[in-house]
């Protein structure tokens, strides 16, 4: 049963435990609050008391689990979960897309994965290359997500750091890995031959710390995406990665942070925004504790957004 839930919700074992704890404590809090509120009503008929109590706890439950989820770092999951329930019963169908301002432009970022532009590809199989520099937790989630797909395949892992965890993942998963060096990447042809050989349709940056060369951006215009651990346009730019970003968010006194999935252009963290998801910044947060909630958002949304922009099988 637990394995089925992990597969259905696309979470790891620890996340599943935190989610189940949130359900349990949130449910208990709902029942407790419901009974306390019922004391304010003088209802003699038992059947009427039961009906009102059921209505009351139905209203209270979403608020209770969202409140508890903040403390367990599962706010993003439950926000999405409750919205899905709402849509199924006909609530929230007219919610507008969030808008975020980039300079003088307004670019939409929708937590429901709607209105996301599709990437054009010309064959029945879409090949993804994942560029990563570190442990590869996002890459692993993407690989897991498309493991049984008939039309989307992670065909290449590109890494610039010998000994990085992502290379172990590539070896374990049987995915070809390409270890690159600066000379060829920045002053050569940016490994275009290797990418063409694998018929790569989309480049996914998942914790890749080198700037993408202009030649590669021109060749894959609109087909390179990145995930940034903050709400762009704030806290982006050169040197803003990992805990440096979270430290900047906390230092700035932000009340919320999140993730931004965006196209890559010639400038750091500047391409058009595809999607954003948010989480609260708590009063006692450290860079490490905030990073944990950001990682949850990354793991939930990045694979789903990639699938969304690639569109259905042809």
In angstroms, the CA 295 to CA 158 distance is: 21
- Active site residue: 121, 228, 246, 262, which one? 228
Known active-site residue 228? yes
- 10 Å CB burial of residue 206 (0-12, 13-18, 19+) is buried
> What are phi and psi for residue 3, nearest 5 degrees?
-65, -40
Give the per-residue SS3 of the chain.
CHHHHHHHHCCCHHHHHHHHHHHHHHHHHHHHHHHHHHCCCCCCCHHHHHHHHHHHHHHHHHHHHHHHHHHCCCHHHHHHHHHHHHHHCCCCCCCCCEEEEECCEEEEECCCCCCCCCCCCCCCCEEEEEEECCCCHHHHHHHHHCCCCCCEEEEEEEECCCCCHHHHHHHHHCCCEEECCHHHHHHCCCCHHHHHHCCEEEEEECCCCCCCCHHHHHHCCCCEEEEECCCCCCCCCCCCCCHHHHHHHHHCCCCEEEEEEEECCCCCCCCCEEEEEEEECCCCCCHHHHHHHHHHHHHHHHHHHHHHHHCCCC
| Residues involved in catalysis | 228
């Amino acid at each position: 049963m637990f394995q089925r839930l992990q597969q259905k919700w696309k979470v790891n074992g620890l996340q599943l435990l935190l989610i189940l704890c949130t359900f349990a404590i949130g449910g208990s809090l709902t029942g407790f609050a419901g009974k306390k509120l019922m004391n304010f009503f003088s209802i003699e008929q038992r059947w009427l008391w039961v009906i009102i109590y059921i209505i009351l706890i139905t209203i209270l439950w979403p608020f209770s689990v969202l409140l508890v989820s903040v403390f367990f770092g599962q706010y993003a999951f439950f926000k999405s979960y409750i919205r899905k329930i709402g849509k199924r019963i006909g609530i929230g169908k007219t919610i507008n897309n969030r808008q975020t301002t980039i300079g003088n432009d307004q670019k939409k970022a929708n937590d429901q994965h709607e209105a996301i532009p599709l990437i054009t590809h010309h064959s029945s199989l879409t090949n993804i290359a994942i560029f990563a520099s570190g442990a590869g937790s996002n890459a692993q989630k993407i690989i897991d997500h498309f493991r049984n797909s008939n039309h989307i395949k992670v065909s290449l892992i590109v890494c610039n750091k010998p000994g990085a965890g992502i290379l172990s993942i590539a070896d374990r998963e049987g995915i070809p890995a390409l270890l690159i060096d600066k000379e060829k990447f920045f002053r050569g042809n940016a490994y275009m031959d290797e990418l063409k050989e694998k018929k790569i349709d989309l480049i996914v940056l998942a914790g890749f710390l080198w700037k993408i060369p202009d030649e590669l951006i021109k060749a894959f215009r609109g087909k390179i995406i990145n995930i940034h651990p903050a709400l762009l346009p704030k806290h982006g730019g050169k040197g803003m990665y990992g805990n440096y970003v979270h430290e900047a968010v906390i230092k700035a006194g932000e009340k919320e942070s999140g993730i931004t999935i965006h196209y890559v252009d010639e400038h750091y963290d500047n391409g058009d925004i595809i999607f954003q998801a948010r989480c609260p910044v708590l009063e006692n947060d450290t860079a490490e504790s905030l990073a944990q909630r950001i990682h949850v958002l990354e793991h939930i949304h990045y694979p789903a957004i990639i699938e969304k922009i690639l569109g259905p099988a042809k």
